Amino acid sequence: VEQLKKNGMKVLPASADLKKDLVRIGDKMTKDWLEQAGPDGQQVYDAYRKAVRK
């Protein structure tokens, strides 16, 4: 974002509605992926979530 601003692009903050929609879409994509990935995918996802919380 800083590089975009430095190069003259106007960067506006995301609206609350956009942020909410992006979270909703991400949750749906994660749910769909987990359904296809099965137990192994769930383990990977759980390990990732644990790692990013630290």
Q: Is the pLDDT of residue 52 over 80?
A: yes
DSSP code for 32: H
46 vs 54, which has greater pLDDT?
A: 46
DSSP code for 8: T
Tens digit of pLDDT for each residue in 12-51? 999 999 999 999 999 999 999 999 999 999 999 999 999 9
Its pTM surpasses 0.85: no
Q: In which residue are the tokens 């192994």 written?
A: 40
Q: Under a CB-based contact definition with an 8 Å cutoff, are residues 30 and 42 in contact? A: no
In Å, how far from its chain's centre is CA 43? 18
User: 31 is written with which tokens?
Assistant: 């749910």
pLDDT at 54: 77
23: amino acid identity, one letter: V
39: amino acid identity, one letter: P
